[in-house]
Amino acid sequence: MKQLNLFGLMIAAACSFQACQSPEQRGANGDSTGTSAAADSGKSDTGAVSSASKDSSDKGNMPKDVTNQSKVDEDEAVFMKTAAVGGMMEVDLGKLAQKSANAKVKAFAAQMVADHSKANAELKAIATSSGIILPSAYPAAEQAHVDMMKKMTGAAFDKHYVEMMVTDHDKTVALFKGAASGSRTKEVKDFAAKTLPVIEGHFAKAKALQGEMK
């Protein structure tokens, strides 16, 4: 009799526990009573919600606007950075050359400042839209050269400056020719092609000045 009462109490307790559980809890415990129909009836709605949630999640995980991320290849990036350092030096040395007593050297230097300032601004705009950060300072060797030229005066400065302009513009012409013919990015290619004749003009004038100084 005691065993029967104990068994009855266990059944009653189990039923009471099952009744107190929520449908979600019963489903988690393997009880499908009363939940199968609800699951079936809400299947399409649940699917729609899941799909919407997935779409929303996917949109949240999509990359943001990549306009300002790098759009140029490595060769084009190297061209832009090399041209930026060269252009910066042309402007700085052109300003420095205003101390020359030679009128032709001063006139040439003034043209370097004007033309390269314009080209530098155009290059910076292309670099910004392409996601490229251009150098804002000289490498150590170039900085040492500029510092040395600041100490030079008179005919020695004029001769060194003009010879440097010949050498640098010879290299710059080759640099811009390569970019004008080999760049795949239209903005870079167009910039190089448009600026090349200006650089070639500088090269010719520098050689003419060099010839007069010999």
| Contacts for 189 with CB less than 8 Å, ≥ 6 apart | 179, 180, 183
Other C-beta atoms within 10 Å of 102: how many? 20
- Tell the residue number behind the tokens 């990036």, with chain if given: 77
Query: pLDDT averaged over the chain?
Result: 79
How far, rounded to the nearest angstrom, does the alpha carbon of residue 38 sit from its chain's CA centroid? 54
Band (70; pLDDT cuts 50, 70, 90): low
Residues 81 and 120 sit within 8 Å (Cβ to Cβ): no
pTM, entire model? 0.66
**For the chain, which residues make up each domain, given as ranges?**
2-61, 74-213
Read off φ and ψ for residue 147, nearest 5 degrees.
-60, -40
Token pair recorded at residue 104: 């032709």
Which of 45-49, 68-72, 108-112, 130-134 shows the lowest per-residue confidence on average (mean pLDDT)? 45-49
Structure tokens at 24: 């979600």
Phi, psi of 175, deg, nearest 5: -60, -45
The more confident residue out of 40 and 184 is: 184
Residue range 74-213 in CATH 1.20.1260.10: yes
Q: In the predicted model, is pLDDT for residue 177 greater than 90?
A: yes
